[in-house]
Amino acid sequence: MKKEFLDAKENALKSLHDACGHGKVDEGVLPILDLINKIEGFYTSSSCAGRIVLLQIPQIGDKRSARFLGIWHRTIEVDELRAASTKATTGLLWLLAQAPILHIGAETLQLADKMVKTAISCGFKNSAVKSLSKTIIIEICSTERLDAPIGRDACLFCDEKHLSLLVEISNEIIERSQEKIGRLTKKLTNFRDFP
């Protein structure tokens, strides 16, 4: 088990290093990933710092054909959303504001349980163990989100007032996400010291 875990960790760290080299890792999430990877018994897998997304989907549920018209790992202005929407063609337009998602491999169930409880105590209430077989994988995630259909076939269905509200709430989700990442980072610096 120990050897298997260490091999998995080595591969994960290599992938993370490569992804960083190609600019494929959200900078906002890198410090906490580094911190987790320094704790014995854990390694990080695919992770996202939280983001606002403008998505075009041909049909409901047809995520494979989804097209990203805009992705922002930060707060945005209404004009940026409007500008991104001019790239729309055919299909549904969704505005999404997504909290961070961290995937973490754990060496033992006990460590996995402790990490999930720590994350929940920092506001990541949707954290759970995603996989138990062979490798143990935890997902750290919170509940705030916005998933709003805002138009169809290149047409925005929202007036200025509504767009402002949607952007205001999306930005609030990003800000809260960053606060929670900060809280978890602080708590993880002495993860090994508390029971």
Binding of a copy of itself at residue 182 (CB under 8 A)?
A: no
| Among 152, 178, 185, 187, interactor with a copy of itself by CB under 8 A | 152
* CA nearest neighbour of 95 among 156, 175, 176, 28: 156
Q: Of 30 and 146, which CB lies nearer to a copy of itself in the complex structure?
A: 146
Query: Could you count the other beta carbons within 10 Å of the beta carbon of residue 107?
Result: 20
For 149, the 3-state DSSP assignment is: strand
Binding of a copy of itself at residue 145 (CB under 8 A)?
A: yes
* DSSP 8-state symbol, 61: T
| Among 166, 174, 181, 188, interactor with a copy of itself by CB under 8 A | 166
| Among 48, 99, 102, 116, interactor with a copy of itself by CB under 8 A | 116
Q: What distances in angstroms separate CA 112 from CA 14, 30, 43, 139, 142, one per listed residue?
A: 22, 21, 11, 10, 17
Binding mask 46-85 for a copy of itself (x = CB under 8 A): --------------xx------------------------
| Among 6, 20, 83, 109, interactor with a copy of itself by CB under 8 A | 109
* DSSP 8-state symbol, 40: T
